[in-house]
Structure 1
Amino acid sequence: MKRSLVITTGIRSAADLEEKALALSRELNVPYIRREKKSLAAVREQGQADAILLVSQDKLSMVIDGKELFFHPGLAKLRIKEIQSGKTDQMIRAMNLKEGDSLLDCTLGLAADALVASYVVGPRGTVIGLEDAAPVAEIVRRGLQSYTGEKPELLNAMRRIQVVHTDHLTYLKNLPAGSFDVVYFDPMFRVAREKSSSMAPLRPFANNSPLAKEAVAEAVRVARKRVVMKENRGSEEFQRLNFHRIQGGRYSPVAYGIIEKVVPCQ
């Protein structure tokens, strides 16, 4: 069941912050409630909402089930450090992603995979992330553009990611054939896993539908090199969606299905 939202500001809200909150309210068609020194619990009760989009000076966040959720590089930062030290990132290996490549991430979520990919493809590459949950898309879009306190190469990788609020099937259908080098799906954002507790509060706002065969077929048309899907190791989704080549870390609970369009040169 989808949860309801209201928008408010931080407790010390200036006029410009209220204007930002009002603009977001209109954009997302979500009610705005003036903070007026009320507690967040009182705001939520006044709006009869399950969650609050909180507009602060430095970020946009969601307060839900007692937690404040906002964009941060998280494990992507660690993965990038490991790539820098010469270690293999299994997702990048599955994509065979190179500097200058273009990637369409059809299930952006909190953008961890997109951030790693953006670092790898570099300034000459392109990463576009699709997210059909409007609050998630807006939190991540703003976070990618405003996050600070990291090294320039990480911040630059964030800034290069383009976030599009849309459903991936519609977007794919409107693309010409061969538009991207790699098309990527991570349906696990829509599937509960114990170790994804930080994602769990966002799930009611996400699209929980299984990945459609039609979307995979469109992805194959759009990709120049590969279509890649991340799933639980041993998932029946690989077979259902015709991902017959599977690879991943030996001890990892996840694996990557690959549909290859171009056989790489030896």
Structure 2
Amino acid sequence: MRKAGNMDKFFITTGRKIDEKSYKKAQQLAEKCQMPFVERDGKSLEQLKIEQQLDKILLVKKTKIVIVTAVGELFFHPNMAQLRIKKLLKKEPDNMIEAMGLKAGMTVLDCTLGFAADALVSSFISKIQVVGLETDELLSLVISDGLKNYNSGITAMDEAMRNIKVININYKDYLRQLPDDSFDIVYFDPMFRHPLQDSIHLQPLRQLADISAVDAESIVQARRVARKKVVFKENSKSREFSRLGFTKIAGGRYSNVHYGVMNI
């Protein structure tokens, strides 16, 4: 793994309670990511920050990897995806799934993986591998590790997590590499360029994720790659739908999230 720009401000350490497995994992990640590994020695994270003169930490704990920043912690958790999947198990509708027209056996490319919530719901329905793209190396590492190791207690959801393939690449580059008609659905969730008031929990993610606008050329490439639909998630009041040529809009009447849909 090459050392990305934002890795320069990170160091790796373990939780206060050290076990052999997480200790070895932290050392391996330090070598892989070319980051300094710092022994915990019972010190607080703030003490370590001062000593290392670095302000961000990759914290390897027994059950998860945590990115620690000044605005909060970031780690994998299914969050809203878990609630959505529980509703789907009760045969309740999901706006994203309906916008996609997603059925079992259909392939999905999630161009903006983030916390992988939408990829997880997609994987639960499709029952086959979903490919998720993430530009940031640290974020892709943390989310990929979580998808492999998190146990929800719901067998179908755990299977859906294991069925997501995370690729650390910019979607613009990946789309250009793909042959025509590679996926049934190509999906974008560009981090809401106008953040919602209730999205404070996303602040650590915004420090790492690419929140730039999706360009028109990427939509052209997505249409080439998709066999059935291109789906674009945004704030319901966003002008991005019209800018990018989405004329069909799906989503709940009172929802603050809508989905632009292009049928191929």
Identity rate, percent: 43
Once the two structures are TM-superposed, the CA of residue 15 in structure 1 deviates from its matched residue by 4.8
Distance 1:29 1:236 in 2: 41
Q: Is the 8 A contact 2:189 2:233 kept in 1?
A: yes
Corresponding position of 1:101: 106
Greater mean alpha carbon deviation, residues 228-237 or residues 182-191: 182-191
Q: Is 1:127 aligned to 2:123, yes or no?
A: no
Corresponding position of 2:174: 171
Distance 1:237 1:28 in 2: 35
Once the two structures are TM-superposed, the CA of residue 49 in structure 1 deviates from its matched residue by 2.4
Corresponding position of 2:228: 225
Unaligned runs of 5+ in 2: none
The structure 2 residue matched to 1:202, chosen from 200, 205, 224, is 205
In structure 1, the residue corresponding to 2:148 is in which secondary structure? helix
Corresponding position of 1:50: 55
Distance 1:189 1:39 in 2: 35
Q: Is the 8 A contact 2:72 2:203 kept in 1?
A: no
Distance 2:67 2:156 in 1: 27
Displaced runs of 4+ in structure 1, greater than 6 A? none
In structure 2, the residue corresponding to 1:195 is in which secondary structure? coil
Corresponding position of 2:37: 32
Greater mean alpha carbon deviation, residues 26-35 or residues 209-218: 26-35
In structure 1, the residue corresponding to 2:201 is in which secondary structure? coil
Once the two structures are TM-superposed, the CA of residue 77 in structure 1 deviates from its matched residue by 1.0
- With normalisation by structure 1, the TM-score equals 0.91
> Which residue identity does 1:6 align to in structure 2?
F
- The 5 Å alignment of 1:1-266 reads 4-65=9-70, 67-122=72-127, 125-188=128-191, 191-261=194-264
> Which residue identity does 1:184 align to in structure 2?
Y
Distance 2:27 2:177 in 1: 32
Q: Is the 8 A contact 2:71 2:203 kept in 1?
A: no
In structure 1, the residue corresponding to 2:259 is in which secondary structure? strand
Once the two structures are TM-superposed, the CA of residue 14 in structure 1 deviates from its matched residue by 4.1
Corresponding position of 1:264: none
Once the two structures are TM-superposed, the CA of residue 190 in structure 1 deviates from its matched residue by 5.7
Once the two structures are TM-superposed, the CA of residue 68 in structure 1 deviates from its matched residue by 3.3
Once the two structures are TM-superposed, the CA of residue 189 in structure 1 deviates from its matched residue by 5.6
Once the two structures are TM-superposed, the CA of residue 69 in structure 1 deviates from its matched residue by 2.6
- Cα offsets for 1:56-83 (capped at 9, x unmatched): 1221112223743321111111111111
> Which residue identity does 1:11 align to in structure 2?
R
Structure 1 pair 192–47 and aligned structure 2 pair: CA distance change class (3 A): farther
Unaligned runs of 5+ in 1: 262-266
Q: Is the 8 A contact 2:76 2:147 kept in 1?
A: yes
Distance 1:102 1:66 in 2: 36
Structure 1 pair 190–49 and aligned structure 2 pair: CA distance change class (3 A): farther
- Cα offsets for 1:35-94 (capped at 9, x unmatched): 122211111222322321101122111222374332111111111111122221000011
- With normalisation by structure 2, the TM-score equals 0.92
Q: Is the 8 A contact 1:190 1:203 kept in 2?
A: no
Structure 1 pair 81–44 and aligned structure 2 pair: CA distance change class (3 A): same
Once the two structures are TM-superposed, the CA of residue 199 in structure 1 deviates from its matched residue by 1.1
Let me know the Cα RMSD of the aligned residues.
1.8
Distance 1:215 1:204 in 2: 23
Distance 2:157 2:180 in 1: 31
